[in-house]
Structure 1
Amino acid sequence: MASAGAPGLALRLMDGAQPGAADYPGDWAAWERARIRVLADTGAWRRALQRLDERPSNLPRTFDHWAEYQQARCHLELGQAEAARQRLRALLWQRRADAADERVRRWRRAIVRSYLVGGAVEDAVTAMRRFDQDYADPGTAWAHLRGRVLLRAGRAHEAARHLAGARLDTPAARALTLLARLRSDARGASAIAQEALSAARADDADAPARARF
């Protein structure tokens, strides 16, 4: 229902259908995951954070780990970089930074992003380099974040090479790649501007995608 464009109605239905956490903690947690996703999809980050902060104490540990990461995510979306990092570091400490755990990768990527959100660009570069030392991450999300870090750090040539090699094919990634090329080669500005115009006019480009160009 939320995906059909009626998130408010979906949330009201959840209010009536979600079982009590005291008697059914596992079922309550499953419903709460769905609720937080709806709130996140609608940009209601403060409301989501409040729900997560006020969750009952008797929930499955797997849900608590998920909720703690979602709290960090909310802080990031609200521009609260230090609060996000505190949450993420606590998660890493709990997991003893087990590099084989996919969740640890996700948390460390989020720490890199937190430095960008807080304007600590060189710290973001350092965290990015450490991540690269520990992982060979081919994922598009990391490639895009890595490109953003390099651009913010004034390393446009490196960003352009990295993004070209990653071959990302989302509107956001294409826009970032063009920006990196523009900053690293001002002489090609005319050709790059033409590429951006063509991308904005593409048949598959929706309004948000066009705005990126």
Structure 2
Amino acid sequence: MVKAVLTNRPNAAGPVLLYFHDPMCSWCWAFRPVWQRVKSGLPAGVEIEQFLGGLAPDSTVPMPAEMREKIQGTWRTIERSVPGTRFNFDFWEKCVPRRSTYPACRAVIAARRQGADFEEAMIFAIQRAYYLQARNPSNDSTLIELAEEAGLDKDLFEANLRHPDTQVELLEEIRCTREFGVRGFPTLLLSHGREYSEIPVNYRDPEPILAAIAAHL
């Protein structure tokens, strides 16, 4: 794992909480309620930076049956272990699943270019579409629909979604994620200049996370 903090604010003097995620990661969906409470409960002076991990590259190949079963099994495990987390299994009948999350990651970057609030809105829109509405965020057409529903400029979003610079930015975030040694999502790291500490993820309660952050300040 690298020793230097590779953030978008390399000169930031204060602590930065790094959040590594993928909008189509089912465990990130399970973590969402706690993550929202962590963000609102952070000590003063702690900044947040989010990195897209790029769980699965672009693919036009339908997901094999074995992988479909594996992911559905993960959904069932999450429903049992994280109270309140729900999935709509109609997705597996209504859609043609592909192991491809890069389009959704690019959508987050495209939304970010219209403002930080739109980044968060797009992440939630993708998660809600995928996990609750049985819509496929691996398709650009779905992502464009979601952007319009979230109030983004549809034409600008579509242009940014497909712009080569968006892919370059995604690959840079994936590179940073790998240099940090992150192997799973969600992951939290707290940085102090060039030092950092991993913060254990708790899917049920934000307080242990906030306590761990406070202990390192």
Which of structures 1 and 2 has the larger relative contact order (alpha carbons within 8 angstroms, sep 6+)? 2
Larger radius of gyration: 1
TM-score, scaled relative to structure 1: 0.24
Q: Answer 1 or 2: which has greater helix percent.
A: 1
Q: Answer 1 or 2: which has greater strand percent.
A: 2
TM-score, scaled relative to structure 2: 0.24
